[in-house]
Structure 1
Amino acid sequence: MADRDPDTIKQEIDQAREQLATTVDLLAERANPRRIADDVKARVIEFVKKPAVAISLVGLGGVAVLLVIRRIRNR
């Protein structure tokens, strides 16, 4: 094994430590519950805004309202 300069070894350790700190910070940001919730909320809103989905939801809502009215009338 070649002899390595202690200063070079220290620099490599410091660089590895910086890379590890950056990686830990990125993982902490990805795992942030508020960010995850915001991402899920944005995806759901984007999905619901699609015309086919919006029309389907309106149709389901209408059927639900009709069923409730029918059930109330049949009492």
Structure 2
Amino acid sequence: MARDPESIQSEIEKTRDALADSLDALTDRANPKRFVDSGKAQAKQKLEDPRIRYALIGVGVILAAAILKKLFS
């Protein structure tokens, strides 16, 4: 059964619009800035955990003490 050209054209336009929407969504998801922002947010959230914060402070103090000892020995 033959289809009329207007119906075919309408389907092509709908498919084109759907493809454009899909490409826009993929472009948004693959945006490097989004990955950077997400990584920053995750790092900030982890640093807000007192266990991690105090552990990093402890490591910093130990490193500073080791450097000072090396400089003044």
TM range (shorter): 0.7 to 0.9
Identity of aligned residues (%): 32
The Cα of 1:3 is off from its aligned counterpart by 2.3
Distance across 2 between alignment mates of 1:59 and 1:12: 65
The Cα of 1:5 is off from its aligned counterpart by 2.7
- Alignment partner of 2:27: what SS? helix
The equivalent residue for 2:19 is 20
**Regions of 4+ moved over 2 Å:** 2-6
- Alignment partner of 1:4: what SS? coil
5+ residue gaps in structure 2?
A: none
Distance across 1 between alignment mates of 2:46 and 2:18: 37
What RMSD over aligned residues (CA atoms) do the two structures have, in Å?
1.3
The equivalent residue for 1:49 is 48
5+ residue gaps in structure 1?
A: none
One-letter amino acid matched to 2:48: K
Q: TM-score, normalised by structure 1?
A: 0.83
The equivalent residue for 2:37 is 38
Q: TM-score, normalised by structure 2?
A: 0.85
Distance across 1 between alignment mates of 2:8 and 2:47: 55
